[in-house]
Amino acid sequence: MAPDDWTSGFFPGSLWLLHDYTGEARWKAAAEDYTGRLAGLRHFTGHHDTGFMLGCGFGQGFRLTGRADYRSVLLDGARALATRFGLIRSWDFGPWAYPVIVDNMMNLELLAWAARESGDTRLLAIATSHADKTLAEHYRSDGSSFHLVDYDPATGAVRGKQTVQGFADGSTWARGQTWGLYGFTMMYRETRRAEYLAHAQRIAGFLLSHPRLPADQIPYWDFDAPDIPRALRDTSAAAVMCSALIELATFSEPTLARQYLGVAETQLRSLSSPAYRAPLGENGGFLLLHAVGHIPEKREIDVPLAYGDYYFLEALLRYQRTLVAKQ
Ligand code: GLY
């Protein structure tokens, strides 16, 4: 995989999470090795995914070690990402004039962190402006999301709303819905703006009350996939949703918090069961089975995916800390 692939940060990030959990030096050494290999991305401006690429490896590494060189890479990465602002444009390829995908909410965490860390409030203003526009344009009245909104760069008007990785333009692609859940929860953590919390809870409400969310709480790859209940599940969406719900519970009133944690617990049990969790040493070394990358392009179908493992590990750590905090 090329360093500028959007998924390059998840493996180093997972190594840091394993070090966080175990305290073992061998995970730290491996994490430092794989994180360092991505340092050349610090000025990357080729697409919107700098938050994933740098935030997972360098971000977790900085959280755990306080290394000044990691901080500096992250701050450069945030400034580079900010150059894509008007809205943060997701992609420079494709038939669109100015495409923004809901996944982009995840990259705002790097901007919010950099604003806090450096005092450059402009970076947080960019993140909130992007989140506000996403909230206004990507969501339907039931809390479900469009994957991609294309804007007119001259006027800012919406040219179209559609899917790229989901089943249909009007469907709800599961991972996109969970990126939004995670992203708005994170933006509430960073800003304490009530509308972000309310929106995260609206997204959660859509997910948790959906008649086609299976009993084991592992979503089908798209909530409107035509072949449900035979449709493929997406463990990566489940892992992102689970990690987000555990954080959202910490901001929610007790009844909702219990509901969110209950679903997250079911997801952790499901993901840890032989139905979804590979035996150690199998599955190419990945933890989770049965994720879905891009069905419309017929790739990464029913496979392990690095981001599934990363958010599964993060969810386990967040859950463990929730339990410790309750003691
Ligand atoms: N951000 C790309 C994906 O979720 O597949």
Residues 6+ apart with CB under 8 A from 172: 144, 145, 166, 206, 222, 223, 224
Q: Report which ligand 1 atom has the smallest distance to the Cα of 106.
A: 1
Pocket test for ligand 1, best of 50, 91, 103 (most atoms within 8 A of CB): 103
pLDDT at residue 64 in the model:
98
C-alpha distance from residue 24 to each of 27, 64, 117, 314, 322 (Å): 6, 13, 28, 17, 22
Distance in Å, CA 301 to ligand 1 centroid = 13
Strands 291-294 vs 299-303: parallel, antiparallel or unpaired: antiparallel
Is there a catalytic annotation at residue 152? no
Mutate to test the pocket of ligand 1, among 134, 165, 222 (most ligand atoms within 8 A of CB): 165
Q: Which residues pair with 291 in a beta bridge?
A: 303
User: Which pLDDT tens digits describe the chain residue by residue (327 residues)?
Assistant: 899 999 999 999 999 999 999 999 999 999 999 999 999 999 999 999 999 999 999 999 999 999 999 999 999 999 999 999 989 999 999 999 999 999 999 999 999 999 999 999 999 999 999 999 999 999 999 999 999 999 999 999 999 999 999 999 999 999 999 999 999 999 999 999 999 999 999 999 999 999 999 999 999 999 999 999 999 999 999 999 999 999 999 999 999 999 999 999 999 999 999 999 999 999 999 999 999 999 999 999 999 999 999 999 999 999 999 988 888
**Helical axes 306-326 vs 10-22, angle rounded to 10°:** 30
| Domain range 85-326, CATH architecture | Alpha/alpha barrel (1.50)
Per-residue pLDDT, 268: 98
Distance 327 CA to ligand 1 centre (A): 36
Q: CA-to-CA distance for 14 and 21, rounded, in angstroms?
A: 10
Q: Best substitution site from 175, 236, 240 to test ligand 1's pocket, by max atoms within 8 Å of Cβ?
A: 175
What is the secondary structure of 216-242 as a DSSP string? T---BSBTT-TTTTSSPB-HHHHHHHH
Predicted local confidence at residue 230, as pLDDT? 98
Q: Is 120 a catalytic residue?
A: no
How far apart are alpha carbons 77 and 8 in whole angstroms? 14
CA distance 237 to 288: 12
The reply to whether ligand 1 has any atom less than 6 angstroms from the CB of 163 is no
CB of 165 within 6 A of ligand 1: the answer is yes
Name the catalytic one among 76, 103, 234, 309. 103
